Structure 1
Amino acid sequence: MTVPRTTPEPTAPPPARRRARPGRIAGHAVLVVAAAALLLPFFWMVSSSLKADNAVFAIPVSWFPDSPRWANYAEIWRVSDLLGWLKNTVFLSVVVTALQLLTGSFAAYGFAKARFPGRNLLFVLYIGTIAVPWQAYMIPQFILMSEVGLTDTPWAVIALQAFGAFGVFLMRQYYATIPDELCEAARVDGLSEYGIYLRIVLPLSVPALASLALLTFVTTWNDYLGPLIYLRDPDLWTVQLGLKSFVSEYNAEHALIMTGSVLSVLPVAVVFLLGQRYFVQGIATSGMKG
Protein backbone atom coordinates (compact mmCIF):
# COMPACT_ATOMS: atom_id res chain seq x y z
CA MET A 1 0.00 0.00 0.00
CA THR A 2 1.49 3.28 -1.09
CA VAL A 3 0.98 6.42 0.84
CA PRO A 4 0.23 9.36 -1.42
CA ARG A 5 2.72 12.16 -1.16
CA THR A 6 1.33 15.44 -0.09
CA THR A 7 2.81 18.73 -1.11
CA PRO A 8 3.65 20.81 1.93
CA GLU A 9 1.79 24.01 2.12
CA PRO A 10 3.98 27.10 1.65
CA THR A 11 4.74 28.76 4.90
CA ALA A 12 4.43 32.48 5.26
CA PRO A 13 7.69 34.39 5.79
CA PRO A 14 8.41 35.45 9.34
CA PRO A 15 6.86 38.75 10.40
CA ALA A 16 10.28 40.31 10.85
CA ARG A 17 11.23 39.38 7.30
CA ARG A 18 7.97 40.78 5.95
CA ARG A 19 8.65 44.03 7.77
CA ALA A 20 12.21 44.12 6.49
CA ARG A 21 11.22 44.07 2.82
CA PRO A 22 9.40 47.44 2.81
CA GLY A 23 12.21 48.92 4.88
CA ARG A 24 14.82 47.64 2.45
CA ILE A 25 12.88 48.99 -0.53
CA ALA A 26 12.55 52.36 1.15
CA GLY A 27 16.26 52.38 1.96
CA HIS A 28 17.16 51.59 -1.65
CA ALA A 29 14.81 54.31 -2.85
CA VAL A 30 16.49 56.86 -0.57
CA LEU A 31 19.93 55.79 -1.85
CA VAL A 32 18.78 56.09 -5.47
CA VAL A 33 17.43 59.59 -4.84
CA ALA A 34 20.63 60.63 -3.04
CA ALA A 35 22.80 59.22 -5.86
CA ALA A 36 20.70 61.05 -8.45
CA ALA A 37 21.06 64.31 -6.51
CA LEU A 38 24.83 63.88 -6.40
CA LEU A 39 25.14 63.00 -10.07
CA LEU A 40 22.78 65.73 -11.29
CA PRO A 41 25.44 68.53 -11.32
CA PHE A 42 27.84 66.28 -13.25
CA PHE A 43 25.14 65.43 -15.75
CA TRP A 44 24.36 69.12 -16.22
CA MET A 45 28.08 69.85 -16.69
CA VAL A 46 28.41 67.19 -19.40
CA SER A 47 25.22 68.35 -21.07
CA SER A 48 26.33 71.99 -21.00
CA SER A 49 29.66 71.09 -22.57
CA LEU A 50 27.74 70.01 -25.69
CA LYS A 51 25.67 73.19 -26.00
CA ALA A 52 26.18 76.60 -27.50
CA ASP A 53 27.23 79.39 -25.13
CA ASN A 54 23.82 81.10 -25.12
CA ALA A 55 22.07 77.81 -24.31
CA VAL A 56 24.00 76.90 -21.17
CA PHE A 57 22.08 79.19 -18.81
CA ALA A 58 18.89 79.39 -20.85
CA ILE A 59 15.57 79.53 -18.98
CA PRO A 60 13.85 77.09 -18.74
CA VAL A 61 16.77 74.72 -18.21
CA SER A 62 17.35 72.30 -21.07
CA TRP A 63 18.87 69.09 -19.73
CA PHE A 64 19.62 67.69 -23.15
CA PRO A 65 21.25 69.71 -25.95
CA ASP A 66 19.11 70.12 -29.05
CA SER A 67 22.06 69.52 -31.34
CA PRO A 68 25.21 68.34 -29.53
CA ARG A 69 28.27 70.40 -30.38
CA TRP A 70 31.12 67.92 -30.25
CA ALA A 71 33.33 70.60 -31.73
CA ASN A 72 33.65 72.07 -28.23
CA TYR A 73 35.92 69.18 -27.30
CA ALA A 74 38.21 70.00 -30.20
CA GLU A 75 38.06 73.76 -29.64
CA ILE A 76 39.19 73.60 -26.00
CA TRP A 77 42.55 72.11 -27.03
CA ARG A 78 43.11 74.90 -29.54
CA VAL A 79 42.32 77.91 -27.35
CA SER A 80 44.04 76.69 -24.18
CA ASP A 81 47.10 74.79 -23.03
CA LEU A 82 44.95 72.01 -21.63
CA LEU A 83 47.39 69.30 -22.70
CA GLY A 84 50.25 70.94 -20.79
CA TRP A 85 48.06 71.44 -17.71
CA LEU A 86 47.03 67.80 -17.75
CA LYS A 87 50.63 66.64 -18.14
CA ASN A 88 51.74 68.72 -15.16
CA THR A 89 48.83 67.48 -13.05
CA VAL A 90 49.44 63.85 -13.95
CA PHE A 91 53.13 64.20 -13.11
CA LEU A 92 52.44 65.73 -9.70
CA SER A 93 49.63 63.31 -8.86
CA VAL A 94 51.57 60.18 -9.82
CA VAL A 95 54.80 61.20 -8.06
CA VAL A 96 53.07 62.35 -4.87
CA THR A 97 50.92 59.20 -4.80
CA ALA A 98 53.94 56.92 -5.25
CA LEU A 99 55.89 58.71 -2.50
CA GLN A 100 52.96 58.67 -0.09
CA LEU A 101 52.50 54.95 -0.66
CA LEU A 102 56.18 54.38 0.09
CA THR A 103 56.50 56.65 3.12
CA GLY A 104 53.07 55.91 4.55
CA SER A 105 53.31 52.12 4.32
CA PHE A 106 56.89 52.04 5.62
CA ALA A 107 56.17 54.31 8.61
CA ALA A 108 52.98 52.38 9.36
CA TYR A 109 54.95 49.15 9.48
CA GLY A 110 57.17 50.62 12.14
CA PHE A 111 54.21 51.77 14.22
CA ALA A 112 52.28 48.50 13.79
CA LYS A 113 54.85 45.70 13.84
CA ALA A 114 58.10 47.08 15.28
CA ARG A 115 58.67 47.26 19.02
CA PHE A 116 60.42 50.31 20.46
CA PRO A 117 59.94 52.54 23.54
CA GLY A 118 57.37 55.31 23.16
CA ARG A 119 55.85 53.85 20.00
CA ASN A 120 52.22 54.53 20.90
CA LEU A 121 52.94 58.04 22.20
CA LEU A 122 54.88 58.93 19.07
CA PHE A 123 52.08 57.57 16.90
CA VAL A 124 49.46 59.66 18.74
CA LEU A 125 51.59 62.79 18.41
CA TYR A 126 52.17 62.18 14.72
CA ILE A 127 48.51 61.50 13.98
CA GLY A 128 47.59 64.58 15.99
CA THR A 129 49.10 66.71 13.24
CA ILE A 130 46.03 65.91 11.15
CA ALA A 131 44.05 68.28 13.40
CA VAL A 132 46.42 71.19 12.63
CA PRO A 133 45.12 73.17 9.62
CA TRP A 134 47.55 73.71 6.78
CA GLN A 135 46.99 77.46 6.94
CA ALA A 136 48.67 77.49 10.37
CA TYR A 137 52.06 76.46 8.99
CA MET A 138 51.67 77.51 5.37
CA ILE A 139 53.91 80.59 5.71
CA PRO A 140 56.81 78.77 7.46
CA GLN A 141 56.68 76.11 4.75
CA PHE A 142 56.85 78.74 2.04
CA ILE A 143 59.84 80.41 3.73
CA LEU A 144 61.55 77.03 3.97
CA MET A 145 60.94 76.22 0.31
CA SER A 146 62.21 79.69 -0.64
CA GLU A 147 65.39 79.20 1.37
CA VAL A 148 66.21 75.92 -0.37
CA GLY A 149 65.32 77.33 -3.79
CA LEU A 150 62.36 75.06 -4.61
CA THR A 151 59.74 77.73 -5.24
CA ASP A 152 58.38 77.92 -8.77
CA THR A 153 59.24 74.25 -9.27
CA PRO A 154 57.00 71.18 -8.96
CA TRP A 155 59.45 69.74 -6.42
CA ALA A 156 58.15 72.12 -3.76
CA VAL A 157 54.66 70.62 -4.01
CA ILE A 158 56.10 67.10 -4.17
CA ALA A 159 58.34 67.62 -1.12
CA LEU A 160 55.48 68.98 0.98
CA GLN A 161 52.97 66.30 0.01
CA ALA A 162 55.25 63.25 -0.05
CA PHE A 163 54.46 62.56 3.62
CA GLY A 164 50.98 62.34 5.09
CA ALA A 165 49.79 61.43 8.58
CA PHE A 166 46.48 60.16 7.25
CA GLY A 167 48.23 57.62 5.04
CA VAL A 168 50.25 56.36 8.00
CA PHE A 169 47.07 56.06 10.07
CA LEU A 170 45.20 54.19 7.33
CA MET A 171 48.02 51.73 6.67
CA ARG A 172 48.73 51.19 10.36
CA GLN A 173 45.09 50.29 11.00
CA TYR A 174 45.21 47.78 8.18
CA TYR A 175 48.51 46.30 9.36
CA ALA A 176 46.84 45.67 12.73
CA THR A 177 44.63 43.07 10.99
CA ILE A 178 47.71 41.08 9.90
CA PRO A 179 48.58 38.48 12.57
CA ASP A 180 51.82 39.20 14.43
CA GLU A 181 52.59 35.47 14.27
CA LEU A 182 53.47 35.86 10.58
CA CYS A 183 56.13 38.44 11.37
CA GLU A 184 57.43 36.47 14.34
CA ALA A 185 57.77 33.32 12.23
CA ALA A 186 59.63 35.30 9.57
CA ARG A 187 62.02 36.69 12.20
CA VAL A 188 62.67 33.17 13.47
CA ASP A 189 63.51 32.14 9.91
CA GLY A 190 66.08 34.93 9.74
CA LEU A 191 64.16 37.43 7.60
CA SER A 192 65.06 41.05 8.28
CA GLU A 193 62.51 43.76 9.04
CA TYR A 194 62.90 45.09 5.51
CA GLY A 195 62.28 41.61 4.16
CA ILE A 196 59.18 41.18 6.29
CA TYR A 197 57.89 44.54 5.09
CA LEU A 198 58.55 43.81 1.41
CA ARG A 199 57.78 40.10 1.18
CA ILE A 200 55.01 39.59 3.72
CA VAL A 201 53.27 42.77 4.80
CA LEU A 202 53.06 44.65 1.50
CA PRO A 203 51.62 41.74 -0.56
CA LEU A 204 48.88 41.35 2.06
CA SER A 205 48.06 45.08 2.01
CA VAL A 206 46.91 45.59 -1.57
CA PRO A 207 43.38 46.83 -0.63
CA ALA A 208 44.75 49.41 1.82
CA LEU A 209 47.43 50.51 -0.64
CA ALA A 210 44.78 50.92 -3.34
CA SER A 211 42.62 52.99 -1.00
CA LEU A 212 45.52 55.24 -0.05
CA ALA A 213 46.58 55.58 -3.69
CA LEU A 214 43.08 56.57 -4.77
CA LEU A 215 42.61 59.12 -1.99
CA THR A 216 46.05 60.65 -2.52
CA PHE A 217 45.68 60.80 -6.30
CA VAL A 218 42.29 62.54 -6.11
CA THR A 219 43.46 64.98 -3.42
CA THR A 220 46.59 65.92 -5.37
CA TRP A 221 44.69 66.21 -8.64
CA ASN A 222 42.12 68.58 -7.10
CA ASP A 223 44.63 70.63 -5.12
CA TYR A 224 44.44 74.31 -5.98
CA LEU A 225 46.04 76.26 -3.14
CA GLY A 226 49.39 74.42 -3.12
CA PRO A 227 50.13 74.90 -6.83
CA LEU A 228 48.80 78.46 -6.62
CA ILE A 229 51.43 79.33 -4.00
CA TYR A 230 54.45 77.52 -5.46
CA LEU A 231 53.88 77.35 -9.24
CA ARG A 232 54.05 80.82 -10.77
CA ASP A 233 55.33 79.91 -14.22
CA PRO A 234 52.34 79.26 -16.55
CA ASP A 235 54.27 76.36 -18.07
CA LEU A 236 54.09 74.61 -14.67
CA TRP A 237 50.41 75.20 -13.99
CA THR A 238 48.17 72.30 -13.11
CA VAL A 239 44.73 71.83 -14.61
CA GLN A 240 43.10 73.61 -11.66
CA LEU A 241 45.21 76.74 -12.12
CA GLY A 242 44.87 76.55 -15.87
CA LEU A 243 41.08 76.36 -15.76
CA LYS A 244 40.96 79.29 -13.36
CA SER A 245 42.97 81.40 -15.78
CA PHE A 246 40.84 80.15 -18.66
CA VAL A 247 37.67 81.18 -16.86
CA SER A 248 39.12 84.65 -16.29
CA GLU A 249 40.09 85.03 -19.94
CA TYR A 250 37.04 83.38 -21.55
CA ASN A 251 34.39 84.23 -18.96
CA ALA A 252 31.68 84.37 -21.63
CA GLU A 253 32.57 81.03 -23.22
CA HIS A 254 30.39 78.99 -20.86
CA ALA A 255 30.29 75.89 -23.03
CA LEU A 256 34.08 75.74 -23.33
CA ILE A 257 34.43 76.24 -19.57
CA MET A 258 32.15 73.26 -19.01
CA THR A 259 34.11 71.27 -21.58
CA GLY A 260 37.36 71.94 -19.74
CA SER A 261 35.72 70.99 -16.46
CA VAL A 262 34.55 67.68 -17.90
CA LEU A 263 38.03 66.87 -19.21
CA SER A 264 39.57 67.75 -15.84
CA VAL A 265 37.18 65.45 -13.95
CA LEU A 266 37.34 62.55 -16.41
CA PRO A 267 40.76 61.11 -15.35
CA VAL A 268 39.74 61.10 -11.68
CA ALA A 269 36.46 59.37 -12.51
CA VAL A 270 38.27 56.69 -14.51
CA VAL A 271 40.78 56.07 -11.71
CA PHE A 272 37.98 55.82 -9.15
CA LEU A 273 35.93 53.41 -11.26
CA LEU A 274 38.95 51.17 -11.78
CA GLY A 275 39.89 51.11 -8.10
CA GLN A 276 36.57 51.34 -6.30
CA ARG A 277 36.48 47.63 -5.40
CA TYR A 278 39.85 47.83 -3.66
CA PHE A 279 38.93 51.18 -2.16
CA VAL A 280 35.80 49.85 -0.47
CA GLN A 281 37.60 46.73 0.70
CA GLY A 282 40.54 48.68 2.09
CA ILE A 283 38.37 51.19 3.96
CA ALA A 284 36.14 48.42 5.35
CA THR A 285 39.03 46.35 6.69
CA SER A 286 41.19 49.21 7.99
CA GLY A 287 38.95 49.62 10.99
CA MET A 288 39.04 45.93 11.96
CA LYS A 289 41.34 44.67 14.65
CA GLY A 290 43.05 41.37 13.89
Structure 2
Amino acid sequence: MTAVATPDRSPRATARAWNVAGLIVTAIIALLWLVPLLWAVDTALKPEGETTKIPVTWWSDNLGFEAFRKVFTESDLVRWFLNSTVVAAGVTVLVLVTASMAAYGFARTEFRGRKVLLAVVVAGIMVPPQVLVVPLFREMLGLGLVDTYWAMILPQVAAPAMVFILKKFFDGLPRELEEAARVDGASPWRLYWQIVLPLSRPVLAAVGIFTFIFTWNNFFWPFLAVSDPDLMTIPVGLATVQSSYGLRYAQIMASAVLGGLPLLVAYVFFQRDIIRSVAHTGLSGT
Protein backbone atom coordinates (compact mmCIF):
# COMPACT_ATOMS: atom_id res chain seq x y z
CA MET A 1 0.00 0.00 0.00
CA THR A 2 1.13 3.50 -0.76
CA ALA A 3 1.02 6.20 1.85
CA VAL A 4 -1.51 8.92 1.29
CA ALA A 5 0.01 12.39 1.32
CA THR A 6 -1.41 14.59 4.04
CA PRO A 7 -1.63 18.33 3.73
CA ASP A 8 1.05 20.39 5.48
CA ARG A 9 -0.48 21.52 8.73
CA SER A 10 2.73 22.61 10.42
CA PRO A 11 2.70 25.72 12.63
CA ARG A 12 4.91 27.50 10.09
CA ALA A 13 2.43 26.91 7.27
CA THR A 14 -0.45 28.04 9.46
CA ALA A 15 1.41 31.19 10.43
CA ARG A 16 2.22 31.86 6.77
CA ALA A 17 -1.46 31.49 5.83
CA TRP A 18 -2.50 33.90 8.56
CA ASN A 19 0.16 36.39 7.43
CA VAL A 20 -1.13 36.26 3.86
CA ALA A 21 -4.72 36.69 5.04
CA GLY A 22 -3.70 39.62 7.23
CA LEU A 23 -1.83 41.21 4.34
CA ILE A 24 -4.87 40.90 2.07
CA VAL A 25 -7.20 42.40 4.69
CA THR A 26 -4.75 45.24 5.33
CA ALA A 27 -4.47 45.97 1.61
CA ILE A 28 -8.26 46.10 1.28
CA ILE A 29 -8.56 48.47 4.25
CA ALA A 30 -5.78 50.65 2.81
CA LEU A 31 -7.58 50.87 -0.53
CA LEU A 32 -10.84 51.79 1.21
CA TRP A 33 -8.98 54.49 3.15
CA LEU A 34 -7.48 55.86 -0.06
CA VAL A 35 -10.82 56.22 -1.87
CA PRO A 36 -11.87 59.49 -0.14
CA LEU A 37 -8.36 60.92 -0.56
CA LEU A 38 -8.29 60.08 -4.27
CA TRP A 39 -11.79 61.50 -4.68
CA ALA A 40 -10.70 64.77 -3.03
CA VAL A 41 -7.66 65.08 -5.31
CA ASP A 42 -9.74 64.20 -8.37
CA THR A 43 -12.38 66.81 -7.46
CA ALA A 44 -9.72 69.46 -6.83
CA LEU A 45 -8.23 68.88 -10.29
CA LYS A 46 -11.56 69.05 -12.14
CA PRO A 47 -13.03 72.24 -13.60
CA GLU A 48 -15.64 73.69 -11.25
CA GLY A 49 -18.49 72.89 -13.62
CA GLU A 50 -17.69 69.18 -13.67
CA THR A 51 -17.65 68.71 -9.88
CA THR A 52 -21.47 68.53 -9.79
CA LYS A 53 -21.90 66.76 -13.10
CA ILE A 54 -24.36 63.85 -13.25
CA PRO A 55 -23.52 61.01 -13.69
CA VAL A 56 -20.49 61.25 -11.44
CA THR A 57 -17.17 60.47 -13.12
CA TRP A 58 -13.75 59.73 -11.66
CA TRP A 59 -11.81 61.26 -14.50
CA SER A 60 -12.00 64.33 -16.70
CA ASP A 61 -10.36 65.34 -19.94
CA ASN A 62 -9.82 68.84 -18.55
CA LEU A 63 -7.86 68.19 -15.38
CA GLY A 64 -5.82 71.14 -14.18
CA PHE A 65 -4.64 73.21 -11.23
CA GLU A 66 -7.05 76.13 -11.61
CA ALA A 67 -8.69 75.45 -8.24
CA PHE A 68 -5.30 75.43 -6.50
CA ARG A 69 -4.34 78.71 -8.19
CA LYS A 70 -7.57 80.37 -7.06
CA VAL A 71 -7.11 79.10 -3.51
CA PHE A 72 -3.69 80.76 -3.32
CA THR A 73 -4.77 84.00 -4.97
CA GLU A 74 -8.26 84.45 -3.52
CA SER A 75 -7.76 83.32 0.07
CA ASP A 76 -5.27 83.73 2.92
CA LEU A 77 -4.08 80.13 2.69
CA VAL A 78 -0.39 81.04 3.04
CA ARG A 79 -1.17 83.05 6.17
CA TRP A 80 -3.19 80.16 7.60
CA PHE A 81 -0.28 77.82 6.92
CA LEU A 82 2.05 80.15 8.80
CA ASN A 83 -0.34 80.43 11.75
CA SER A 84 -0.84 76.66 11.94
CA THR A 85 2.92 76.11 11.77
CA VAL A 86 3.59 78.58 14.59
CA VAL A 87 0.87 77.15 16.82
CA ALA A 88 1.62 73.47 16.11
CA ALA A 89 5.38 73.93 16.48
CA GLY A 90 4.98 75.93 19.69
CA VAL A 91 2.66 73.37 21.26
CA THR A 92 4.92 70.50 20.18
CA VAL A 93 8.07 72.02 21.68
CA LEU A 94 6.37 72.90 24.97
CA VAL A 95 4.72 69.47 25.23
CA LEU A 96 8.04 67.71 24.65
CA VAL A 97 9.73 69.80 27.34
CA THR A 98 7.03 69.70 30.01
CA ALA A 99 5.81 66.14 29.41
CA SER A 100 9.31 64.65 29.32
CA MET A 101 10.31 66.44 32.54
CA ALA A 102 7.13 65.33 34.30
CA ALA A 103 7.50 61.76 33.02
CA TYR A 104 11.15 61.62 34.13
CA GLY A 105 10.16 62.83 37.58
CA PHE A 106 7.49 60.14 37.89
CA ALA A 107 9.82 57.43 36.55
CA ARG A 108 12.94 58.19 38.56
CA THR A 109 11.98 60.23 41.62
CA GLU A 110 10.45 58.80 44.77
CA PHE A 111 8.36 61.29 46.75
CA ARG A 112 5.30 61.24 48.96
CA GLY A 113 2.06 61.14 47.00
CA ARG A 114 3.80 60.12 43.77
CA LYS A 115 1.30 57.39 42.88
CA VAL A 116 -1.68 59.59 43.70
CA LEU A 117 -0.34 62.46 41.61
CA LEU A 118 0.41 60.10 38.72
CA ALA A 119 -3.14 58.73 38.94
CA VAL A 120 -4.50 62.28 38.78
CA VAL A 121 -2.40 63.00 35.68
CA VAL A 122 -3.50 59.79 33.96
CA ALA A 123 -7.12 60.50 34.89
CA GLY A 124 -6.78 63.72 32.91
CA ILE A 125 -6.85 61.57 29.76
CA MET A 126 -10.52 60.82 30.44
CA VAL A 127 -11.56 64.47 30.81
CA PRO A 128 -13.32 65.67 27.61
CA PRO A 129 -11.72 68.86 26.29
CA GLN A 130 -15.16 70.44 25.87
CA VAL A 131 -15.59 70.46 29.66
CA LEU A 132 -12.63 72.85 30.01
CA VAL A 133 -13.62 75.29 27.29
CA VAL A 134 -15.38 77.85 29.50
CA PRO A 135 -12.76 78.02 32.31
CA LEU A 136 -9.91 78.10 29.81
CA PHE A 137 -11.51 80.88 27.80
CA ARG A 138 -12.17 82.92 30.94
CA GLU A 139 -8.55 82.38 32.00
CA MET A 140 -7.23 83.53 28.62
CA LEU A 141 -9.58 86.50 28.75
CA GLY A 142 -8.39 87.43 32.24
CA LEU A 143 -4.76 87.25 31.13
CA GLY A 144 -5.48 89.38 28.07
CA LEU A 145 -4.31 86.65 25.70
CA VAL A 146 -7.45 86.27 23.57
CA ASP A 147 -6.73 86.82 19.86
CA THR A 148 -3.05 85.93 20.27
CA TYR A 149 -0.91 82.92 19.43
CA TRP A 150 -0.51 82.22 23.15
CA ALA A 151 -4.26 81.78 23.54
CA MET A 152 -4.11 78.90 21.06
CA ILE A 153 -0.83 77.44 22.32
CA LEU A 154 -0.91 77.42 26.12
CA PRO A 155 -4.19 75.51 26.73
CA GLN A 156 -2.99 72.71 24.45
CA VAL A 157 0.30 72.17 26.29
CA ALA A 158 -1.27 70.07 29.04
CA ALA A 159 -0.97 66.56 27.58
CA PRO A 160 -1.46 63.81 30.19
CA ALA A 161 -1.45 61.09 27.53
CA MET A 162 2.05 62.11 26.43
CA VAL A 163 3.26 62.08 30.04
CA PHE A 164 1.96 58.52 30.38
CA ILE A 165 3.64 57.38 27.14
CA LEU A 166 6.97 58.92 28.06
CA LYS A 167 6.87 57.52 31.60
CA LYS A 168 6.33 54.00 30.27
CA PHE A 169 9.32 54.43 27.99
CA PHE A 170 11.53 55.85 30.76
CA ASP A 171 10.58 52.91 33.01
CA GLY A 172 12.08 50.57 30.41
CA LEU A 173 15.42 52.37 30.17
CA PRO A 174 18.33 50.69 32.00
CA ARG A 175 19.27 52.50 35.20
CA GLU A 176 22.90 51.41 35.10
CA LEU A 177 23.97 54.31 32.86
CA GLU A 178 22.35 56.85 35.17
CA GLU A 179 23.87 55.21 38.24
CA ALA A 180 27.33 55.29 36.66
CA ALA A 181 26.92 58.95 35.74
CA ARG A 182 25.64 59.71 39.26
CA VAL A 183 28.77 58.12 40.73
CA ASP A 184 30.81 60.51 38.57
CA GLY A 185 28.94 63.43 40.09
CA ALA A 186 26.26 64.07 37.49
CA SER A 187 23.31 66.14 38.69
CA PRO A 188 19.68 65.08 38.10
CA TRP A 189 19.40 67.71 35.36
CA ARG A 190 22.48 66.36 33.60
CA LEU A 191 21.14 62.79 33.87
CA TYR A 192 17.89 63.91 32.27
CA TRP A 193 19.47 66.09 29.58
CA GLN A 194 22.56 64.09 28.57
CA ILE A 195 21.62 60.49 29.39
CA VAL A 196 17.87 59.98 29.24
CA LEU A 197 16.84 62.28 26.40
CA PRO A 198 19.42 60.99 23.85
CA LEU A 199 18.24 57.43 24.57
CA SER A 200 14.62 58.51 24.09
CA ARG A 201 14.80 59.98 20.60
CA PRO A 202 12.36 57.47 19.02
CA VAL A 203 9.60 58.06 21.56
CA LEU A 204 10.24 61.81 21.60
CA ALA A 205 9.90 61.87 17.82
CA ALA A 206 6.63 59.94 18.02
CA VAL A 207 5.22 62.17 20.77
CA GLY A 208 6.25 65.21 18.76
CA ILE A 209 4.53 63.93 15.61
CA PHE A 210 1.34 62.95 17.46
CA THR A 211 1.21 66.34 19.15
CA PHE A 212 1.92 68.21 15.92
CA ILE A 213 -0.79 66.33 14.02
CA PHE A 214 -3.40 66.79 16.75
CA THR A 215 -2.62 70.50 17.09
CA TRP A 216 -2.60 71.05 13.34
CA ASN A 217 -6.03 69.41 13.00
CA ASN A 218 -7.55 71.05 16.07
CA PHE A 219 -10.48 73.23 15.06
CA PHE A 220 -12.56 73.73 18.18
CA TRP A 221 -10.20 75.63 20.50
CA PRO A 222 -8.54 77.93 17.89
CA PHE A 223 -12.02 78.75 16.60
CA LEU A 224 -13.05 79.93 20.08
CA ALA A 225 -9.79 81.58 21.13
CA VAL A 226 -9.23 83.68 18.00
CA SER A 227 -11.57 85.90 16.02
CA ASP A 228 -8.90 87.87 14.15
CA PRO A 229 -8.81 86.62 10.49
CA ASP A 230 -5.04 87.18 10.42
CA LEU A 231 -4.58 84.59 13.20
CA MET A 232 -6.77 81.81 11.80
CA THR A 233 -5.27 78.34 11.49
CA ILE A 234 -5.84 75.95 8.59
CA PRO A 235 -8.98 74.20 9.99
CA VAL A 236 -10.61 77.50 10.98
CA GLY A 237 -9.65 79.11 7.69
CA LEU A 238 -11.02 76.18 5.68
CA ALA A 239 -14.37 76.58 7.44
CA THR A 240 -14.52 80.22 6.33
CA VAL A 241 -13.47 79.22 2.81
CA GLN A 242 -16.30 76.70 2.63
CA SER A 243 -18.88 79.26 3.74
CA SER A 244 -17.60 81.95 1.40
CA TYR A 245 -17.07 79.68 -1.62
CA GLY A 246 -20.55 78.18 -1.36
CA LEU A 247 -20.76 75.28 -3.81
CA ARG A 248 -17.32 75.67 -5.35
CA TYR A 249 -16.30 72.14 -4.51
CA ALA A 250 -13.06 72.16 -6.49
CA GLN A 251 -11.65 75.02 -4.42
CA ILE A 252 -12.90 73.50 -1.17
CA MET A 253 -11.19 70.19 -1.99
CA ALA A 254 -8.03 71.95 -3.14
CA SER A 255 -7.84 73.78 0.20
CA ALA A 256 -8.43 70.55 2.12
CA VAL A 257 -5.74 68.69 0.17
CA LEU A 258 -3.20 71.45 0.74
CA GLY A 259 -4.13 71.63 4.43
CA GLY A 260 -3.50 67.93 4.97
CA LEU A 261 -0.35 67.68 2.85
CA PRO A 262 2.13 68.71 5.60
CA LEU A 263 0.83 65.97 7.89
CA LEU A 264 1.27 63.34 5.20
CA VAL A 265 4.82 64.48 4.54
CA ALA A 266 5.63 64.50 8.27
CA TYR A 267 4.34 60.96 8.72
CA VAL A 268 6.30 59.67 5.72
CA PHE A 269 9.54 61.05 7.17
CA PHE A 270 8.95 59.91 10.78
CA GLN A 271 6.96 56.68 10.39
CA ARG A 272 9.89 54.52 11.54
CA ASP A 273 10.22 56.47 14.77
CA ILE A 274 6.48 56.23 15.39
CA ILE A 275 6.40 52.45 14.88
CA ARG A 276 9.54 51.95 16.95
CA SER A 277 8.20 54.02 19.85
CA VAL A 278 4.89 52.12 19.88
CA ALA A 279 6.83 48.85 20.12
CA HIS A 280 9.06 50.18 22.90
CA THR A 281 6.26 51.60 25.03
CA GLY A 282 4.13 48.48 24.78
CA LEU A 283 1.12 50.36 23.39
CA SER A 284 0.62 47.94 20.53
CA GLY A 285 -1.57 45.69 22.64
CA THR A 286 0.94 42.86 22.90
TM-score w.r.t. length of structure 1 = 0.91
Residue 128 (structure 2) aligns with: 133
Corresponding residue number in structure 2 for 1:200: 195
**Could you say which residue in structure 2 is the equivalent of 1:26?**
21
1:49 matched residue in structure 2:
44
- Structure 1: which amino acid aligns with 2:121? Y
Moved more, 58-67 or 153-162: 58-67
Superposed, 1:14-163 pairs within 5 Å as: 15-163=10-158
Letter in 2 for 1:195: R
Secondary structure of the residue aligned to 1:140 is helix
Question: Deviation at 1:16?
Answer: 2.9
* DSSP 3-state at the match of 2:112: coil
Partners of 2:138 and 2:157 lie apart in 1 by: 18
Deviations 1:86-106 (A, max 9, x none): 110011011110110111111
Runs in 1 of length 4+ with deviation above 6 angstroms? none
2:275 maps to 1:284: no
Deviation at 1:124, TM superposition (A): 0.9
Aligned partners of 2:47 and 2:62 also within 8 Å: no
152, 161, 165: which is aligned to 1:170? Answer: 165
Contact 2:41 2:254 in 1 (8 A): yes
TM-score with structure 2 setting the length = 0.93
Deviations 1:15-43 (A, max 9, x none): 33333333322221111000111111011
Name 1:8's counterpart in structure 2: none
Mapped partners of 1:86, 1:110: distance in 2: 36
Which sections of structure 2, spanning at least 5 residues, go unmatched? 1-6
Of stretches 142-151 and 193-202 in structure 1, the one that deviates more from structure 2 is 142-151
**CA-to-aligned-CA distance 1:215-248 (integer Å, 9 cap, x gap):** 0000000010111111100011111111111110
Asked if the contact 2:45/2:64 (under 8 Å) is kept, the reply is: yes
Asked which structure has the greater CA Rg, the reply is 1
SS at match of 1:168: helix
Between the two proteins, the alignment pairs up a number of residues equal to 277
Q: Deviations over 1:71-99 (max 9, x none)?
A: 22212111101011111001101111011
Q: Tell me the C-alpha RMSD between the 2 structures.
A: 1.5
Counterparts of 1:219 and 1:117, CA distance in 2: 34
Which whole-Å CA distance do the structure 2 matches of 1:227 and 1:191 have between them? Answer: 42
Specify the alignment match of 2:217 in structure 1.
222
Identity among equivalent positions (%) equals: 38
Matching residue's letter, 2:30 = A
CA offset at residue 162 of structure 1? 1.9
Q: Hey, what's the Cα distance between the residues in 2 that align with 1:206 and 1:60?
A: 51
Are 1:211 and 1:279, in contact at CA under 8 Å, matched by a contact in 2?
Answer: yes
SS at match of 1:38: helix
Helix, strand or coil at the partner of 1:137: helix
- Larger CA deviation: 16-25 vs 113-122: 16-25
Query: 1:244 aligns to what?
Result: 239
AA paired with 1:187? Answer: R
Gaps of 5+ in 1: 1-11
Shift of residue 174, structure 1, vs aligned partner: 0.6
2 CA distance for matches of 1:91 and 1:274?
A: 20
Give 3-state SS (helix, strand or coil) of 1:65's partner: coil
**Distance in 2 separating the partners of 1:286 and 1:20:** 26
**Structure 2 match to 1:4:** none
Contact 2:222 2:233 in 1 (8 A): yes
